[in-house]
Copies of this chain bind each other. A is one copy, B any other.
Amino acid sequence: MKNIEPRIIGLFKQGYCTPQIARIAKKIKEPATTIHYNIKRLEKEGAIKSYKAVFDYKKINEGHCTYILVNLTEENYGNPESICKDIAKDPKVESIDICTGDYELLIKLRTKDIDEYYEWTKHAIKKYNFSKIISITSLKQVKTEFVEL
């Protein structure tokens, strides 16, 4: 057994997929070449960032999902972007936004379980010197990434 699954999953999270032109052509009843032309234009414009897979995260051992609201400390408050880019590199982070309201950042985190979540927060508070965090844990995901579950 080569244990290829985790490597495939890793690649699929961000990309390594491609449009199904023939299927789209059939669906909207237009020639495949027209679809192809339009898609390539969207790609060149930068409107399409990536083609990727959406998972049933429970089944790939990332069943615990938490939204984390973050208060930064002074040293990052005026320039949240560089810290965000670093946090974004973490493969457990699905999304990160700089936001309005009482908290500066909103992070969507996917972990195996609550223990892994707890370890992540401890590590992140220390590394990024967050002054406060609020966690909102998902009890049930009804839709993610525009895909109904």
A interface vs B, CB < 8 Å?
2, 4-5, 7-9, 11-20, 23-24, 27-28, 30, 34-35, 38-39, 42, 45-56, 59-60, 65, 67, 69, 81, 84-85, 87-89, 91, 93-101, 103, 106, 134-149
Contact A24–B47 (Cβ < 8 Å):
no
Interface secondary structure of A, over-half rule: mixed
Contact B12–A48 (Cβ < 8 Å):
yes
Question: Considering the chains assembled together, what is the distance between the CA atoms of A135 and B19 in angstroms?
Answer: 34
Contact A19–B19 (Cβ < 8 Å):
no
Contact of A142 with B34 at beta-carbon distance under 8 Å, contacts A27-B16, A55-B47, A147-B49 already known: no
Given contacts A52-B145, A98-B139, 4 further A-B contacts (CB under 8 A): A16-B19, A47-B59, A95-B141, A100-B139
The interface residues of chain B lying within 8 Å CB-to-CB of A18 are 17-20
